[in-house]
Amino acid sequence: MVCEMLNKANKIRLFNAMKNKYFLYKLINKSPGLTIYDLTKKVNWTSGKVNHYIQKLLKDKVIRNSTIIENGRVKKQYFPVSYKEFINWDEMNLNPEKFIV
């Protein structure tokens, strides 16, 4: 009985984590170049929560970051990764330009 409840709670936690990751990815996809501060303000989450999911998205390689210096301050911006970067065209012996309409 307790084991079933724990399994159900774990499934709910996993589902919510995936939902949060996807939500943040969609936001970055719609507005590329946002910083953690910008994302924090848009989604009304703590910076720690945003940073946690950003790190997961970076690890999954679905977003990338870029560092710039603006007014003497380091600024990290986040961008979605294009689907073209997921496909190893050389391995498939294909030219991506043939498939782009």
Kindly give the confidence (pLDDT) of every residue in the chain, 101 residues in length, as a single tens digit, with 9 standing for 90 and above: 778 888 999 999 999 999 999 999 999 999 999 999 999 999 999 999 999 999 999 999 999 999 999 899 999 999 999 877 766 666 666 665 665 55
Spatial contact of 25 and 63, defined as CB atoms under 8 Å apart: yes
Q: Where are the domains of the chain?
A: 2-87
Burial class of 98 by CB neighbour count within 10 A (0 to 12, 13 to 18, 19+): exposed
Q: Could you tell me which CATH class the domain 2-87 is placed in?
A: mainly alpha
pTM of this structure: 0.77
